[in-house]
Amino acid sequence: MSSLTKTLEGLASWEGSLDDLTATASELLLDQRTWQGQVLRAPTRSVVVNYRTVGLVSPSLRKRYQWRHLVQLVVACVFVQLGVTRKAVVKRFHSLAPAEIIALLDHPDLQDESATLILGPAAVSLDESRALTMAHEAIPLLAAGLVDHYRRARAGQPLVHDTSVSAWLRAAISRLAGLYVMYSQPVEADGAHTLVARCGQPLRGREWSLPIFDSPEFRFHGIRLLDIASRLPTIECIDLARQIASELDLMEQQAFAQLNSVCDQFASRGNEVYSALREFITRHPITTAAEQRRFLAEGNMQLAAPFLASCYEQVQPHHLVKGALLRCVNCGAPMVASVVADHVSCPVRTCKAYEAPVLRASAREAISEDSLVVKAHIQVYWCGPGQDEIELYDAAVAEPAGLSASLYPGRDKCDISLDGDVVGIDVKSHANPFVLAETLNRSLGGLELFAQKYVAINDQALSRFPGYLEILCRECSRLDVEFISVSTLCRKLKARA
C-alpha cells in the first residue's frame, strides 16, 4: 500500500471549501512527487472546477466538499496525468465508493489499463457526429412524449408501455437505445417507465451514462425535463415539446384560458383585473380564504372568486415539515426539508433562497389550519418565475424612481411595461441559453410590440450556466433585444430616478 493511499484513507473526516479542496489535493500530490515514474502536478482551482463540470468530482453539498470529493480529485489527477482520458476516469469512478476509488491506486500498472478503461475490453470506433445528431433528435421527442402523457394522465389514462405509448416517446426510446448501443453501454432507457423516472435528472453524462451529453456541442446539457418536486414538465420541456407538437393541453394553459374568460366578464376592466389577479397569486403562494375575500372586495372583483379559489388547495401533508407549514421569507413558497440536518430550504429553483437552507427552528411558520397553498402547476409556472417580475416591477415604481410601470400589461403582452408601453420587459428563467435562444428566434410574442425590448434572465439560472448571456446573444438572431440579468436591470431601473 502506497503512502498516498494511506494518507487518503486517514482523511475520512476531511471537509472544506473549493479552495481547501484544491490546496489539500495539491499538498498530497506534491508530497507524493511521482507515480509510476510520472512527476505529479498540483491541480489549479480552474482544473478542479473543470473536473467538477465533467463529472470527475461529484457536485458539492451546499458549496462544501467532503472526503469523497478529495478522493475523487486526487485519484483523478493521478489517472489523467498518467495518460488516461477524462471520460475513461468518469466511467471508472461511476458508482464507486471512496474506498473503492482509493483501491484503484494499487493497480500494478494503470497505464496498461488505460486502453480498457474507455469502453470495455476494446475501444469502439464511434461516430461522434452521428451520436450528437441522435441526441439532438431524441430530447425534443422525449419532451413532446412527456407532455403528451402528462395530458393523458390528467384524463385518467395511466402510462402503460404497450401499443398506446405516445409515438414521440417511442421515437425517443428508440434513439436513446441507439445511443447506448453506440457507447457499448447497457440500454438503461428501454422502457417507458424507466425513461420517465430518469427525466427528473439533468441531461448530463454521469446521470444518463451517455458521454455525448457532456459534449460541448450538445445543446441541452444540464436541463431537466421534469420538475423533481412536482413531477410536472419543466419550462424547457414545454418549449422543446412545442418544436414537435402544436397543441399542449397542460393545466397551466387551462388556467390561462380560465383567467382570460373571467377577465372578459369585467369588460373594459378586463386588463386591469388580469394584472391584479396575476399579481396577487404571484405574491401569495400561501394565503387564506379571508385574505382572498378582502383582496377581491377592495378591487370590486368578486366575480373572479371562483377562479381565484380554483388556483389554491387545502394544505396537504407534502406541504409540511414535521407537521409545520413553513414559508420562504423571499418568495413565500412552502419550504421543504433540507439535506442538511435540522434545516429547511426553498424548493423554487429561481428563488434567491434556493441554495441557502435555514434552521427549521428559525423558519417563518404559517397557520396551516387556515392556510391555502397554490396548486403545483400555478407554483411552477406562475409563482416561481413571477418573483423576478415582481422584483422588477417594485424596483420601477418605488421611490425615488417612481416610474410609470404596468405589470402583465394587455393580458401578458410582456411581463412589465414602462413609459406608456414604450419599454417592454420579459423575464426568463430557462436553465439553458440554447433552448431560450431557439424560442426567441421563433417568436418574441407580445414583446415585439414595444420599441425598446429587454429580456431579463433570472440570476440563479445565470450562475448555474457559465457564459449564459454571451451564448444567448450569440445564438439569438434578434438584434433589437437587450439581454440582461434581473439584478442588473433592477439597478438600472432605480438609477432612472
Q: What is the pLDDT of residues 323-368, one digit of tens each?
A: 889 999 989 999 999 888 889 999 888 888 888 889 988 888 888 7
Work out the mean pLDDT of the chain and round it to a whole number: 85
Distances (CA, A) of 440 to 245, 347, 420, 461, 480: 17, 27, 24, 17, 12
CB-based contact 350:337 (threshold 8 Å)? no
Comparing 165-174, 246-255, 294-303, 451-460, which segment has the lowest mean pLDDT? 246-255
Distance between CA atoms of residues 165 and 95, nearest Å: 32
User: Which amino acid is located at 204 in the chain?
Assistant: R
User: What pTM was computed for the model?
Assistant: 0.58
Task: Give the pLDDT mean for 164-176.
Answer: 84
Which helix (H) or strand (E) covers residue 455, if one does? Answer: strand 452-457
Q: Quick one: pLDDT at residue 194? A: 84
Residue 464, all three cell numbers: 448555474
Q: Which distant-in-sequence residues (6+ apart) come within 8 Å of 235 by Cβ?
A: 381, 385, 429, 430
Confidence at residue 483, expressed as pLDDT on a 0 to 100 scale = 95
Looking up cell 441541452 gives: 220
Lowest mean pLDDT among 34-48, 109-123, 301-315, 478-492: 109-123
Q: Which of 391, 420, 383 is nearest to 405 (CA)?
A: 420
Per the omega criterion (within 30 degrees of 0), is the bond before 357 cis? no
Does residue 246 register a pLDDT over 70? no
Q: How far is CA 171 from the centre of its chain?
A: 25
pLDDT at 247: 36
Banded pLDDT at 391 (limits 50, 70, 90): very high
* Backbone torsion region of residue 410, taken as left when φ is above 0, otherwise alpha when ψ lies between -120 and 50, otherwise beta: left
Q: What is the pLDDT of residue 217?
A: 83
Backbone dihedral angles phi then psi of residue 390, each to the nearest 5 degrees: -65, -40
Place of cell 466511467: 91
Confidence check: pLDDT of 294 > 60: yes
The pLDDT value given to residue 249: 37
Helix (H, G, I), strand (E, B) or coil at 109: coil
CB atoms < 10 A from the CB of 39, how many?
A: 9
With beta carbons less than 8 A apart as the criterion, state whether 145 and 172 touch.
Answer: yes
Q: What is the pLDDT of residue 107?
A: 63
- pLDDT for the residue 400: 72
Cell numbers that stand for 338 in this block: 433540507
Q: What is the pLDDT of residue 103?
A: 85
Torsion of CA 397, 400, 401, 403, to 10 degrees: 50
| pLDDT reported for residue 120 | 40
Residues 6+ apart with CB under 8 A from 174: none
Query: What average pLDDT does this structure show over 470-479?
Result: 91
Instruction: Tell me the C-alpha distance between 490 and 497, whole Å.
Output: 12
Contact partners, residue 471, CB within 8 Å, separation at least 6: 433, 434, 437, 465
Q: Indicate whether 410 pLDDT > 70.
A: yes
Asked if the model's pLDDT at residue 373 lies above 90, the reply is yes
The predicted-structure confidence for 218-239, as pLDDT tens digits, reads as follows: 889 889 999 888 888 998 898 8
Is residue 422 predicted with pLDDT exceeding 80?
A: yes
Residue 318 has pLDDT above 90, yes or no: no
How far, rounded to the nearest angstrom, does the alpha carbon of residue 108 sit from its chain's CA centroid?
A: 42
Q: What pLDDT does residue 487 have?
A: 93
* DSSP codes of every residue in 196-219: HHHTTS-S-HHHHT-GGGGSTT-T
Of the pLDDT bands very low, low, confident and very high (cuts 50, 70, 90), residue 277 is very high
Please state, in angstroms and rounded to a whole number, the distance separating the CA atoms of residues 303 and 296. 8
* pLDDT 10s digits, 69-114: 999 999 999 988 888 888 788 877 766 788 888 888 876 444 444 4
- Write the DSSP symbol of residue 283: H
The size of the chain, in residues, is 497
Spatial distance between the Cα atoms of 397 and 308, rounded to a whole number of angstroms? 26
Paired strand residues for 100: none
